[in-house]
Structure 1
Amino acid sequence: MKILLTAINSKFIHSNLAVRYLKTFTEDLNYQGIIREFSINDKIERILEEIIKEKPDVVAFSTYIWNLEYVERLTELIKRVDRNIEILFGGPEVTYDSKLFLEEHNGNYVISGEGEKTYRDFVLFKLGEKDIKDIKGLYYKENEKVFFNGERPLMDMSEIVFPYKENDNTIHDKIVYYEASRGCPFSCKYCLSSTIHGVRFLPADRVKKELQFFMDNKVKLVKFVDRTFNCNHKFSMDIWSFLINSDTNTRFHFEISADILTEEELKLLSTAPKGRFQFEVGVQTTDNKVLNNINRFVNFNEIKEKVEEMMKLKNIHQHLDLIAGLPDEDYETFKKSFNDVYEIRPEKVQLGFLKLLKGSLMRDESEKWGMEYSPYPPYEILRTSVLSYDEVIKLKKVEEMVDKYYNSEKFYNILNFFVNMFETPFDFYYELGMFFEEKGYFNRNIGNVEYYKVFVDFYTEKLNGEHLSELKEIIKFDYLSFNKKKWLPDFLNRTITKEEEKNIMLEYKEIYASKRYHVEKFSIDIMKYVKNNEIVQKDKYIIFNEENSEEIIEVN
């Protein structure tokens, strides 16, 4: 008996934790459990071919908001090719309306809620060792009627089997997901974690042993899926201390609640090697009334205080999240939220849009707040009583500009040049987004060089263009910091002579002998601009390390 555990990930770089859990939880049973991972960017015909080629008895899909429609189409194709292949669905997208989903879809079974124990019982059923009527948490179809044997109690975390193995070669080039706890102590209305009360933890010693596995295997990024990692002070201190004192290049990503960080935790975090941790902080909005509307009983100033303390440490990469479309937050209020967060200048500002997930309290209250949302995954907000559809579209333009330019961290000095020319940061990103719209850039792919040249066109066509030559020098610096050094786009000037380059190479011959470096001449004191945002006309030579964008040498 063969079950194909199938993951349709949102990107190639992602991996799927759920299917690995299911496989390892049943590895002692006498059946074939095969994992196949794809992405929604793969051609559906290719995935269909790969699935049919495996000749499975059952295809099990892990479903999420980003892949449900894809999985539905794929399921229909599988059944048309071979009606005898059974389909098992699991995951958050089928957990809250499982009966209706199975009635309306061309599948056979749905696992509702946590999947490990239900899946194990399902395998035993397929092996003839268990009656399907005794399987808690499983919806099943017989003669087109759907049956359910009741919910399954939450499992003890210590029963979970570590899902990664030494011979799993796929984890080295992917984001590896890991969880040390399940549940969340908070009750945010838009989040499914609010529907399950309490938090369950793995033993800290076990967590440390499993994290050591990732470090030993030189995994690049481990992303904790814990909803609020620092909700247990003793636990988070223990794990962070272990990782801080480890000799590794692995980076660890945590979702945290900044407002509950303690001084003891901040003191410990100050000792972390630079780049070891990245924190995702769910700000969502800086309006305290709106925060209360979503059951987040916290003051933005408390979040800001802790985030700024971490910024001063200069060793932790921070992602601050905002959500547009929250109850009673209008366009101007959201604009203020954006500017408040941007003022902190975290490494990333992640601007998302409210998704009214199945089973969430927010969906239940949608009428109260005049919310219209897409009935199709990912159930994104279309408008509210105080935020029009046109305003949502404007915010989407801003989001694209912020994600491409600010979050890439490759245009830092160029953005500083422009932001200071507008009343607020939001105004700049909005105007840049409108310029993209006007030029049709949202409707076609533009190349890497064009993303830089946009600023020249934007400056000359929409602003006064008075300091165009200085802007080009700033663009040249940011471009050379992250792109090939030996070549410059046509719209940028390379003025250094071979004689000047030769003299600098001789003066710095020790470094030129050991690494690949490139020297460039600027007509402004570019490092003074980088450090102080001040433009001074002065020839300046900069040496770039072609293999390390962070190493920049100022020639005296």
Structure 2
Amino acid sequence: MKKLRIRLVGLNARFTHSCLALFCVRSELERHCPAAAIEIFQGTINDDYHQTLLRLIEGSPDALLFSAAIWNGEPVRRLIGDCLRLLPGLAVVVGGPQAGEVGRSLPPGSITVVRGEIEAVDPDFYVDLLAGRLRPHYAGSFLRLPYKALPFPYRDEDFRSQLQHRHIYYESSRGCPFACSYCLSAAEKGVWHKGLEQVFAEMGEILRHRPQVVRFVDRTFNDNPVRALAIWRFLAAQGGDTLFHFEIAPDRFGEEMFAFLAQVPPGRFQFEIGIQSTNDATLAAIDRRIDPRRAHGLIRRLAAAVNIHLHVDLILGLPYETRETYLRSFAAVFAMGAHYIQMGLLKILPDTPIQRGAEAMGYLHCSEPPYSVLATRWLGRDELAALYWFGECVERFHNNRYFVSLWRYLRAGGEEIAVFFLDLLALCHRHGFFQLAATQELMCRLLCLHLTGRDDEGLVRDLLRYDWLRCGHRFLPPCLALEEGRERPEATRDRLYRTMPMAVAGVYDFGGRNHFFRKAFCLHLSAAAARALGLDGADDGADLCFTARREESLFRLNEVVLL
């Protein structure tokens, strides 16, 4: 009997990503079709299309099984059409969030669409696959299974091939406790958890290979706080340098969790927190049931600990969200101290509650993936477009490590941050910023223009110099040149070299003194800037030396020595 050759296909957004679904499908195929020859193919949506096509049909496989998501639905559809032309009689199966739309866009009967999780699909699917008589549709629901289990999807050889230099995706639970109207998870509420012993064993296997990033794909990792804390404790005890990413609910935290997280080394844990909006009417309309006050307090508290990267989401275009409420939501999130504020457009996804009510709410959205909203009853086309560019301005200026001290200063001073960014956006449009490469120097230049004439202009320019040098630069760009009468960096270094002791504990010893001053960039900061940075005893300003060493900190900035 001929051995069935099956190729599993995933197109990721970028090379560093991996497609967990392919490995889960492989596990089920190995269980139900042990004689089949199974191969995993991972490409990206940015790869050369023709080369990808040739690789998919190479060796004339009997079946291609595609994972279709919102971001890759169109290239998947194109590839399927061309593969069917090149290999008549090829069996093509599509699963994933966009499978139904891909199926509807192709000739009836040309492919098979699988809805739901592969672990719950009717066993007839495998019988039909082996027999070459696949039906047009199969479906299953994992949460409705009487007995639920998720086997470990990875093999040792995967980490030397398919997963090498990629993020590792791992699910310790399936399902979501929320039913947000814009999300595909709204179709089926509920959560199933793997046992902790299984999680510990599987994570132990993954960590043996020392991956750079492990991303937990649990929709709400901490829906059970006790269980979440147990997993965090286990991961922290393993040591290593792996970064762990979690999507968390901001109102499901206890004091024991805070106490533990305070001990986690910087850069080991990263939290993604879906605030979406701070407008009560909007949260009620999308069925986002969180306690905003607890959520805001949590983020402020975690941000103050400066050891966990905080990624907070806002969504532009939700029901009842006006320009004013959206800007208030942004200002509230900025005040919390989040390190990354993602301001994404609402996607009107097929088969979601919000899609079914889109016409009644006056939604205009793109007809093709990713179905981005274009206008709503509360935001006209031009208003929504303006807020989109506002979000792009925040993305480029805020969501990096370039201006950490500036944002901290503005936050502490109660700056009207929405107005600040609106004015900065207008400046960006005048200078054609969004058509240029967003370099740190260009952004510094625009910020200096934006800050001209402020009462605290000198102070904020010094903060920009401080941030610039902490990013590892060994010079000041023209826009940050020192004002007339200020001591030049070379003069500051020479003065310190003449006046500092021959050894300073923890900074340099007698033998390393010359090397320290040769490599350090020295700058005298104003007293106002020194106070804003929290430098003690700096009433006359501060002499700072920026070294070439990186701190063991969240942003891995260069070390600064106060002399």
State the TM bucket, normalised to the shorter chain.
Answer: 0.7 to 0.9
In the alignment, which residue of structure 1 is the partner of 2:51? Answer: 46
The alignment of Structure 1 onto Structure 2 pairs a total of residues equal to: 536
Which secondary structure state, in structure 2, belongs to the residue aligned with residue 70 of structure 1? helix
List alignment gaps of at least 5 residues for structure 2: 482-487
CA distance in 2, matches of 1:269, 1:423: 30
Determine whether 1:553 maps to 2:560. yes
Which of the residues 396, 406, 422 maps onto 1:430? 422
CA distance in 2, matches of 1:514, 1:535: 26
**One-letter amino acid of the counterpart of residue 532, structure 2:** Y
Q: Is the 8 A contact 1:2 1:58 kept in 2?
A: yes
Compared with structure 1, are the counterparts of its residues 302 and 491 closer, same or farther at alpha carbon in structure 2 (3 Å cutoff)? Answer: closer
Q: Which of 468-477 and 386-395 deviates more?
A: 468-477
In the alignment, which residue of structure 2 is the partner of 1:17? Answer: 20
In the alignment, which residue of structure 2 is the partner of 1:35? Answer: 40
Which of the residues 44, 59, 66 maps onto 1:61? 66
The alpha carbon displacement at 1:356 in A equals: 1.4
Compared with structure 1, are the counterparts of its residues 151 and 202 closer, same or farther at alpha carbon in structure 2 (3 Å cutoff)? Answer: closer
In the alignment, which residue of structure 1 is the partner of 2:104? Answer: 100
Which of the residues 512, 521, 524 maps onto 1:522? 524
Determine whether 1:474 maps to 2:463. yes
**One-letter amino acid of the counterpart of residue 150, structure 2:** I
Which of the residues 170, 175, 182 maps onto 2:167? 175
CA distance in 2, matches of 1:157, 1:262: 32
**One-letter amino acid of the counterpart of residue 524, structure 1:** S
Q: After superposition, where does 1:404-423 map in structure 2 within 5 Å?
A: 404-415=396-407
In the alignment, which residue of structure 1 is the partner of 2:484? Answer: none
**One-letter amino acid of the counterpart of residue 210, structure 2:** K
In the alignment, which residue of structure 2 is the partner of 1:79? Answer: 84
CA distance in 2, matches of 1:79, 1:131: 16
* 1:40-59 deviation line (CA, Å, top 9, x unaligned): 22222232232233532322
In the alignment, which residue of structure 2 is the partner of 1:220? Answer: 212
Which of the residues 356, 370, 385 maps onto 1:378? 370
**One-letter amino acid of the counterpart of residue 489, structure 1:** P
Determine whether 1:315 maps to 2:307. yes
The alpha carbon displacement at 1:450 in A equals: 2.2
TM-score (norm 1): 0.86
Compared with structure 1, are the counterparts of its residues 6 and 151 closer, same or farther at alpha carbon in structure 2 (3 Å cutoff)? Answer: closer
CA distance in 2, matches of 1:41, 1:99: 23
Compared with structure 1, are the counterparts of its residues 293 and 468 closer, same or farther at alpha carbon in structure 2 (3 Å cutoff)? Answer: closer
The alpha carbon displacement at 1:531 in A equals: 2.8
Determine whether 1:464 maps to 2:453. yes
Determine whether 1:531 maps to 2:525. no
CA distance in 2, matches of 1:37, 1:533: 54
Q: Which of 59-68 and 310-319 deviates more?
A: 310-319
CA distance in 2, matches of 1:279, 1:488: 34
Compared with structure 1, are the counterparts of its residues 521 and 174 closer, same or farther at alpha carbon in structure 2 (3 Å cutoff)? Answer: same
Which of the residues 160, 185, 199 maps onto 2:150? 160
In the alignment, which residue of structure 2 is the partner of 1:191? Answer: 183
Which secondary structure state, in structure 1, belongs to the residue aligned with residue 156 of structure 2? coil
Compared with structure 1, are the counterparts of its residues 175 and 24 closer, same or farther at alpha carbon in structure 2 (3 Å cutoff)? Answer: same
**One-letter amino acid of the counterpart of residue 228, structure 2:** S
* 1:157-193 deviation line (CA, Å, top 9, x unaligned): 8532212222223535222211111111222111111
List alignment gaps of at least 5 residues for structure 1: 133-138, 141-147
The alpha carbon displacement at 1:18 in A equals: 0.6
Determine whether 1:496 maps to 2:498. no
Compared with structure 1, are the counterparts of its residues 300 and 149 closer, same or farther at alpha carbon in structure 2 (3 Å cutoff)? Answer: closer
Q: Which of 348-357 and 409-418 deviates more?
A: 409-418
* 1:84-109 deviation line (CA, Å, top 9, x unaligned): 444321101124x67634546x9421
Which secondary structure state, in structure 2, belongs to the residue aligned with residue 69 of structure 1? helix
CA distance in 2, matches of 1:424, 1:218: 44
CA distance in 2, matches of 1:291, 1:533: 44
Q: After superposition, where does 1:347-366 map in structure 2 within 5 Å?
A: 347-366=339-358
In the alignment, which residue of structure 1 is the partner of 2:247? Answer: 255
Q: Is the 8 A contact 1:523 1:537 kept in 2?
A: no
Compared with structure 1, are the counterparts of its residues 469 and 337 closer, same or farther at alpha carbon in structure 2 (3 Å cutoff)? Answer: closer
The alpha carbon displacement at 1:347 in A equals: 1.7
CA distance in 1, matches of 2:147, 2:522: 56
In the alignment, which residue of structure 1 is the partner of 2:485? Answer: none
Q: Which of 33-42 and 449-458 deviates more?
A: 449-458
Compared with structure 1, are the counterparts of its residues 285 and 71 closer, same or farther at alpha carbon in structure 2 (3 Å cutoff)? Answer: same
Q: CA RMSD in A?
A: 3.3
Compared with structure 1, are the counterparts of its residues 555 and 445 closer, same or farther at alpha carbon in structure 2 (3 Å cutoff)? Answer: closer
CA distance in 2, matches of 1:191, 1:249: 33
Determine whether 1:340 maps to 2:342. no
Which secondary structure state, in structure 2, belongs to the residue aligned with residue 164 of structure 1? coil
* 1:125-164 deviation line (CA, Å, top 9, x unaligned): 3433x864xxxxxx52xxxxxxx46656645785322122
Which secondary structure state, in structure 2, belongs to the residue aligned with residue 329 of structure 1? coil
* 1:354-410 deviation line (CA, Å, top 9, x unaligned): 111111111112123222211111111111111111121111112112222212132
| Percent identical residues | 27
CA distance in 2, matches of 1:280, 1:203: 23
The alpha carbon displacement at 1:344 in A equals: 0.8
